[in-house]
Structure 1
Amino acid sequence: MPEFLQFGFMQRAFAAGAVTAIICPLIGVFLVPRRLSLIADTLAHVALAGVAVGLLLGASPVLGALVVTVIGALGMERLRARGALQGDAALAVFLSGGFAVAVVLISLAHGFNADLFAILFGSILTVSPTDVWLILALGAVVVTTIALTYRRLFATTLNEDLARTSGVQVTALNFTLTVLTALTTVVAMRMVGVLLVSAMIVIPTLTGFAIGTSFRRATMVAIVMALASVGIGLTVAYYLRLAAGGAVVLTALLIFAVASMLRRVPWTRRPRESRP
């Protein structure tokens, strides 16, 4: 066992990071093809408002983020479903609105404190045992729901109109996916911070689509690459004393860059399969 894994805080960091690395691509593979990559960034700003609410009320910032993010996700999806706003417009409204609420509440709380700063930029190395159990619980909810709805989500992602005519409850699935994205955002926020949440959802997913020859293979590749990013990033952060969240995301970017270059090599190209 490596020396750094003997420390409790590193064990908790790897446990939380592994859960994050699994659920982020599971959500990302259904968001990126729909051109909803920015939904995670939007919900991260809404989560920041929830964190500020929790701190202002003296409650758990993670619990505040969870409640406010889920409510915001449902509101955003309802606007999109009713056609009141187009997808990108709804994202813009909630992104700017969430950030504005967060700024106002932070000013009422008389500026930043250590908890808010850690959530803004990530602080996986200070994850408590309670945080780990909460992350595991949220991760289990996301994985179980995705497993139960995988084929229907795939059909909806591939062609929403065709899925609807086939009897798939598209609206309900879209609401479900949005809520799962909210839960994933809260989990990833603890690891990499509000500012880098979307990176953990999008970058490994792009790597998976660059390498995988089918939707299922792309999903598996994305999860493996996300796990590799967490493992390498946390190790580098420990030895070089870097910010763990930034190190993980930079590792994911490096892996994506290598995958993109390999994709251009003729003998590495394979025909893609349009099946789940």
Structure 2
Amino acid sequence: MIDLLTVDFMQRALIAALLVGTVAPMVGIFLVQRRLSLIGDGMGHVALAGVAIGLVSGTAPVLTALIAAVVAAVVIELLRAKGRTNGDVALAVIFYGGIAGGVVIISKSPDGTPANLMKYLFGSILTTQRGDLYVFAGLALVIAVTTWALRPRLFAVANDEEYARAVGIPVLPLNIVLAVLTATTVVVAMRVVGLLLISALMIVPNAASQLVARSFSGGLRWAIGFGLVSSVGGVALSYPLNTPSGGTIVLLAVGLFVVTAVVTGVLARVGTRRHDVAETHAHEHGTLCGHPAVTHGDHVDYVHDGHLHAAHEGHYDEHGVHHDHPAEADTTPAPTTGSRP
């Protein structure tokens, strides 16, 4: 790792990965909430056409890609809002039109070959220049600040558009803002993971975070953490392994998701078995069973041979020894079954 930090192009690559790993999950969390996980792919294909225009015209590909992606993002949201076509159809049309347009336009370049598109399709982070870093850093700052400032409203719209509209939240402008943020994120990340893979870095860390987080804010923090580990770790691994950085980043993100899913699944199974199960009874505790009922927190225990038993999922759990405190006894009729959260 020390050797990586002494090489100029690796320094630039790691900084670029740090930027992308931070902002991609920040935008992606709202796409996951809205079930628009594949919109990053659509924006990537439109950005491809913008890159082709830039290469043919001699203009900065980042600028033309940004313009093309932002315009497409706004058009998609307007079409959805007007109801002239659904979001999936609009996304599909732009998806295929973008990639076809990119291939056709690049064929008119002086080289006459689509080969120049490869570093944008699959990423070429090691060729990142200092000037690229300044552009990426500026765009990433805009994305991060905008997302953080608007996160309560973006969450409200992503969670329930109808409710957000009913309480006076400007749904259409916020949807357009989110679409533009998505397009900008795609352009920022195209040299890091590639236009065909950027959607994975926006979605997979959020999918992993949902397995461990218990709130939206917690999910956002976990997603950024997974994104940073995937992007920076993927770049660091790609250097000694001599593998493409974009593919390595995405594979690491997928690997983290799989590990998280396995670990949380095992912990959930262990947690369900952690309580003590009482012995099997020949009868069912209830009003007429003859055993005193004792209120215990938010449920009812039954005193059986000096032990507290609570009904739970077809069996009775051991809740300790009963110390016959009169204040605890409940002589009122007890329900047929108790409950345990």
| TM-score, normalised by the number of residues in structure 1 | 0.94
Q: Secondary structure at the match of 2:107?
A: helix
| 8 Å Cα contact 1:74-1:179 kept in structure 2 | yes
AA aligned opposite 2:135: L
| 8 Å Cα contact 1:263-1:269 kept in structure 2 | no
Q: How does 1:112-191 map to 2 (within 5 A)?
A: 112-114=114-116, 116-191=117-192
User: Size of the alignment, in residue pairs?
Assistant: 269
221 and 268 in structure 1: CA distance in 2 versus 1, 3 angstrom threshold = farther
| 8 Å Cα contact 1:188-1:200 kept in structure 2 | no
Q: Secondary structure at the match of 2:176?
A: helix
Distance in 2, Cα, partners of 1:129 & 1:198: 25
Q: Secondary structure at the match of 1:36?
A: coil
Counterpart of 1:83 in structure 2 is 83
Q: Secondary structure at the match of 2:85?
A: coil
AA aligned opposite 1:187: V
Moved over 4 A (4+): 267-270
Could you tell me the percent identity over the aligned residues?
42
Distance in 1, Cα, partners of 2:178 & 2:271: 31
Counterpart of 1:229 in structure 2 is 230
Report the alpha carbon displacement of residue 247 of structure 1 after superposing the two structures with TM: 0.6
Report the alpha carbon displacement of residue 267 of structure 1 after superposing the two structures with TM: 6.1
Distance in 2, Cα, partners of 1:3 & 1:74: 44
AA aligned opposite 2:113: G
| 8 Å Cα contact 2:51-2:64 kept in structure 1 | yes
Distance in 1, Cα, partners of 2:22 & 2:43: 19
Counterpart of 1:40 in structure 2 is 40
Q: Does 1:73 align with 2:73?
A: yes
Counterpart of 1:247 in structure 2 is 248
Distance in 1, Cα, partners of 2:163 & 2:99: 37
| 8 Å Cα contact 1:163-1:170 kept in structure 2 | yes
Counterpart of 2:259 in structure 1 is 258
Counterpart of 1:274 in structure 2 is none
Q: Secondary structure at the match of 1:226?
A: helix
Distance in 1, Cα, partners of 2:270 & 2:143: 33
Distance in 1, Cα, partners of 2:265 & 2:146: 36
Report the alpha carbon displacement of residue 113 of structure 1 after superposing the two structures with TM: 4.3
Structure with greater strand share of residues: 2
Report the alpha carbon displacement of residue 269 of structure 1 after superposing the two structures with TM: 7.2
Q: Does 1:60 align with 2:60?
A: yes
Q: How does 1:173-212 map to 2 (within 5 A)?
A: 173-212=174-213
Distance in 2, Cα, partners of 1:7 & 1:189: 22
Report the alpha carbon displacement of residue 180 of structure 1 after superposing the two structures with TM: 0.3
Report the alpha carbon displacement of residue 217 of structure 1 after superposing the two structures with TM: 0.6
| CA displacement, residues 52-77 of structure 1 (integer Å, 9 cap, x when unaligned) | 00011011111110111111111111
Whichever of the two has the greater Rg, that structure is 2
Q: Secondary structure at the match of 1:192?
A: coil
Distance in 1, Cα, partners of 2:158 & 2:79: 19
AA aligned opposite 2:10: M
Distance in 1, Cα, partners of 2:7 & 2:154: 40
235 and 120 in structure 1: CA distance in 2 versus 1, 3 angstrom threshold = same
Q: Does 1:3 align with 2:15?
A: no
Report the alpha carbon displacement of residue 14 of structure 1 after superposing the two structures with TM: 0.8
220 and 106 in structure 1: CA distance in 2 versus 1, 3 angstrom threshold = same
Distance in 2, Cα, partners of 1:87 & 1:78: 10
| 8 Å Cα contact 1:65-1:186 kept in structure 2 | yes
AA aligned opposite 2:122: F
Distance in 2, Cα, partners of 1:209 & 1:269: 18
Distance in 1, Cα, partners of 2:20 & 2:255: 19
28 and 259 in structure 1: CA distance in 2 versus 1, 3 angstrom threshold = same
Report the alpha carbon displacement of residue 80 of structure 1 after superposing the two structures with TM: 0.9
| 8 Å Cα contact 2:103-2:114 kept in structure 1 | no
Q: Secondary structure at the match of 1:190?
A: coil
Which segments of 5 or more consecutive residues in structure 1 lack a partner in the other structure? Answer: 271-276
| 8 Å Cα contact 2:24-2:201 kept in structure 1 | yes
Distance in 2, Cα, partners of 1:268 & 1:262: 11
Q: Which has the higher contact order (CA 8 A, sep 6+)?
A: 1
Which segments of 5 or more consecutive residues in structure 2 lack a partner in the other structure? Answer: 273-341
Report the alpha carbon displacement of residue 263 of structure 1 after superposing the two structures with TM: 2.2
AA aligned opposite 1:84: R
